[in-house]
Structure 1
Amino acid sequence: MTVYVGGIRFIKPVSIGDIVKVDATVIHTGNTSIHIAVDVFSRHIADPEYKKTTHCVIVFVSVDQNGKPQHVKPWIPKTEVEKKFCEYAQTLTKLRDSISKEMKPFF
């Protein structure tokens, strides 16, 4: 189940007729959640090089057959890049929690 999409950055538009490529990478796991960084790239059919157009982080919660959250296998970052992405995911989580707390009186 998707519970959050955030940290969205629109870098450049995708034009009609462009070829689109999507890369998704696990960057953090919680007890029941998986954080995935998604990068979207596009290129004109005549251009050999893709350019990044969008970036975001999607958080999924693993649920059992009854819709209850269930434990996920931990993902352990190994490389420096993976460790930085993991820190990024944790920072986004803190920001999201802070924003939710601030907005709570309005919902």
Structure 2
Amino acid sequence: MSSEETRGRLTTRTIAMPADTNPSGDIFGGWVLSQMDMAAGICAGQRAQSRVVTVALDSMSFIRPVKVGDILGVYTDITSVGRTSMNVHVEAWARRGRIGTREKVTEATFKFVAIDDNGNPIAVPDKEDLPAYALEGYSI
């Protein structure tokens, strides 16, 4: 186990499969990014209690590779909430060989905007107006 601690709560977990590799056998960075975007979208959607769309992410560097058979755990933490938007810090961790050591592979901050059914921005509800599950594990 890595001595570094995760930030946020575990939002998704999946196994890196051979279909997720490039011709050299390495897991595509885009596959990891899509897993992070899905987890961040789950987190943001629960907080917004509505549809959300990704509008930006800060820079992202890969610290370690993800390999076939690794379990990718994605952790999310809401860092700020504005009127219609929120920032979600996301970390991706790989557990080697399903039961082996765990290493952080990358992290980034994703920005989401809450939208209505027509795609127009809407206000993110105040904390006190949310069900308990929407805030579970988050300080913001």
Query: Given the two structures, how large is their TM-score scaled by the length of structure 1?
Result: 0.63
Flag structure 1 segments of 5+ consecutive residues without an equivalent: 76-81, 87-107
Which stretch shows the higher mean deviation, 23-32 or 45-54? Answer: 45-54
**1:54 and 2:106 aligned:** yes
**Following superposition of structure 1 onto structure 2, how do residues 44-83 of structure 1 map, counting pairs within 5 Å?**
44-45=96-97, 47-74=99-126
Report what 2:80 is aligned to: 28
Partner of residue 39, structure 2: none
Contact 1:29 1:74 in 2 (8 A): no
Extract unaligned runs of 5+ from structure 2: 1-52, 128-138
Larger deviation, residues 4-13 vs 58-67: 4-13
SS of equivalent residue, structure 2 residue 111: strand
Larger Rg: 1
2:60 match: secondary structure: strand
Aligned residues: 77
1:74 Cα deviation after fit: 4.7
- Alignment correspondent of 2:94: 42
Alignment deviations for residues 33-74 of structure 1 (CA, whole Å, 9 cap, x no partner):
011011000022265331100101111100112211011135
TM-score, normalised via structure 2 length: 0.49
Identity %: 31
Greater mean alpha carbon deviation, residues 15-24 or residues 51-60: 15-24
8 Å Cα contact 2:57-2:110 kept in structure 1? yes
